[in-house]
Amino acid sequence: MSEGAERLLAGLTCRIATRDAQRKWAIGNWFSDPLMRPGWLGDQGEDRYKKQLQGSGHQWTFRWNDFPYVEDVVASLTAPLIGVSGAIARDADDHFEVRLGGATLRLDGQRAPMQRESEVAP
């Protein structure tokens, strides 16, 4: 495993219970939404526990099918102050990539539903 990949993967575990002070994202220990956003993920039975990490060297992929939303994970890894220093994200439409140096962590998780205008703060 490359050093950059090691830092990105360590970033996932170090941020397992984090949430943004402005309540824009939260990780929730990978099973719940501490922000209790309405209309977001509900109970999906045993399938919610499916998570898979695979890769080697500079290229790693993490897949999961329940909370947290992929945007929340990306934010936790790239946010000012709490993010992994130097990490940048790219939205590739069907997944996100977080890069650090030559390392890439592909994140395949559920996307957050689009917010309705009535849910957006003024």
Residues 58-110: pLDDT tens digits?
Answer: 999 999 988 888 999 999 999 998 999 999 999 998 999 999 999 999 999 98
Structural domain contains residue 54? yes
> Whole-angstrom Cα distance, residue 97 to residue 106?
4
Which residues make Cβ contacts (< 8 Å) with residue 112, sequence separation at least 6? 40, 69, 70, 71, 72
CATH code for the domain in which residue 86 is found? 3.30.460
Give the range of the structural domain holding residue 94, as residue numbers without chain letter. Answer: 1-18+49-113
On whether residue 63 sits in a domain, the answer given is: yes
Residue 106 contacts residue 94 (beta carbons within 8 Å): no
Is 89 inside any structural domain? yes
Query: For residue 55, is pLDDT > 80?
Result: yes
What residues form DSSP beta bridges with 90?
A: 97
DSSP state letter for 45: G
Q: What is the pTM of this model?
A: 0.84
Asked whether residue 43 is assigned to any structural domain, the reply reads no
Residue 58 in any domain: the answer is yes
Instruction: Evaluate whether residue 38 is within a structural domain.
Output: no
Predicted confidence at residue 36, as pLDDT, reads 84
Counting the structural domains of the chain, the total is: 1
DSSP assigned state of 92: -
Lowest mean pLDDT among 13-17, 40-44, 63-67, 96-100: 40-44
* Residue 85 covered by a domain: yes
**Angle, alpha carbons 11-91-113 (nearest 5°):** 90
Domain membership of residue 97 (yes or no) is yes
pLDDT of residue 47: 60
Q: Rounded CA gap, 14 and 81, in Å?
A: 14
Amino acid letter, residue 37: R
* Residues contacting 29, CB < 8 A, separation 6+: 16, 17
